[in-house]
Structure 1
Amino acid sequence: MNVVGEDLSEAETTEQLFEILSNRRRRYAVYALGQGEEDTVELGELARRIAAWETEQPPEQVSSTERKRVYTALQQSHLPKLADAGLVDYDERASVIHARPELEEYEVYMELVHGREIPWSHYYLGLSGVAVSLLLAVWVGAPPFSTLPDVVWMAALVAALTVSAAAHAYFSRGVELVADGTPPEVEIGPGETDD
């Protein structure tokens, strides 16, 4: 599904996705707009929330200078990019932003990964590879896999999947945040800017 227009190729859409998410303020905006219970957000409130996340303080303690810096960057750069991508409707005159349904598709790419951790999607792909290899070894009767009954190997695979799913549910619970919480941060690397 093409989230930014029918005339773009998949490669162009992917490039636009990474361009959108390459900037921390745009990631914060995508997170805030996707988590909000209201369809429309006032630009000043969005700027205050993002400034609070950037300065690691409660929104009510954000200074007018900190809020204004974020407000200006959102108004001049980030919101027009999100609007051009078809993710939000941005009314400059009223200073309000309306999240479009396509914005939800971008949230999938904001999976929280710290340092040298691997994403859960890669973990499950690796687990599937191990399971297929194990099943093939059991099926052809390769030693030592032929010494135990097939049901034991199947039980081991089910146990591995169950433990993995439980761990995933436990760790994911820790990053599910309310709209006033801190957004998940995706590590992009050096050279990233806030503006």
Structure 2
Amino acid sequence: MATTTKQAEEGDVGDGVDTSGSATDFSPNSGDIFDLLSNHRRRYAIHYLKRTDDRVELGDLAEHVAAWELDKDVQAITSTERKRVYTSLQQTHLPTLERAGMIEFDDRAIELTDDAKTLEVYLDVVPGDSIPWGVYYLGLSAVAAVVMGGLWLELIPTGTIPELGWPTLVMALFTVSAVVHVLENRRMRLGEGEQPP
């Protein structure tokens, strides 16, 4: 199952997820997954946990999350930076993930639940100067429709390019676009690659 979400506000408070002590009916399959992933520390925690098969110590998780947040090597993280992230994870984010059924968390060790391990999550991040993939494919389809309509109406010359050359060109454009899209989705998937998306 693939779930997409746009990068959202990344504050530690007011992120739309119930952080009270009460249990919720939150599950990895619910629409609330968007709220869960709206915080970068929870995304980074899930990314790190999906890359490991064993239980993870909270200290190791805090170091990696802090390193990704600050764009530093793990060895360059100060004890103050690590402690700030450690406290935030321990008091807010890991309990939220546990109530959501994403992790099992006791004392200082964390691991993903079986449901969370099989959950495929990727982020569809669209920079301000680019277009979403859906809009791109819609535009490509419009170009293909114009080309095919032009061929049917004999408005497009077929002297220099054979008649089958035009559909082949359109198919090649879709194929290259699909390959780039698949590679981009793989890069933006939580648990893939060294850096979190």
**Shorter-chain-normalised TM-score: which range?**
0.5 to 0.7
Structure 2 segments unaligned to the other structure (5+ residues): 4-24
Distance 1:41 1:99 in 2: 9
Contact 2:121–2:189 at 8 Å: present in 1 too? no
The CA deviation string for residues 105-153 of structure 1, in whole angstroms up to 9 with x for no partner, is 3522x24443332344553354345435644x258x33524x5465233
> Of 56, 59, 82, which residue of structure 1 is paired with 2:97?
82
The CA deviation string for residues 26-69 of structure 1, in whole angstroms up to 9 with x for no partner, is 121122122x2323211110001011112222112211111111
Q: Give yes or no for the alignment of 1:107 onto 2:121.
A: yes
Look up the match of 2:65: 50
Compared CA separation, residues 8 and 128, structure 1 to 2 (3 A): farther
Q: How does 1:1-195 map to 2 (within 5 A)?
A: 13-14=30-31, 16-34=32-50, 36-91=51-106, 93=107, 95-103=108-116, 104-105=118-119, 107-108=121-122, 110-132=123-145, 134-135=147-148, 137=149, 141-145=152-156, 147-148=157-158, 150-168=163-181, 181-184=194-197
Contact 2:67–2:74 at 8 Å: present in 1 too? yes
Look up the match of 2:6: none
Distance 1:125 1:101 in 2: 37
Contact 2:41–2:65 at 8 Å: present in 1 too? yes
Contact 1:131–1:157 at 8 Å: present in 2 too? yes
Compared CA separation, residues 19 and 174, structure 1 to 2 (3 A): closer
**SS in structure 1 of the partner of residue 67 of structure 2:** helix
Taking only aligned residues, the RMSD between alpha carbons, in angstroms, comes to 3.6
Contact 1:79–1:90 at 8 Å: present in 2 too? yes
TM-score normalised by L of structure 1: 0.68
Q: How big is the shift at 1:81? A: 1.5
Percent identical pairs in the alignment equals 41
**SS in structure 2 of the partner of residue 102 of structure 1:** helix
Equivalent residue letter for 1:142: L
Q: Figure out how many residues of one structure are paired with residues of the other and give that number.
A: 170
**SS in structure 1 of the partner of residue 105 of structure 2:** strand
Q: How big is the shift at 1:171? A: 5.7
TM-score normalised by L of structure 2: 0.67
Counting helix residues as a fraction of each chain, which structure ranks higher?
Answer: 1
Compared CA separation, residues 44 and 67, structure 1 to 2 (3 A): same
Look up the match of 1:193: none
Structure 1 segments unaligned to the other structure (5+ residues): 185-195
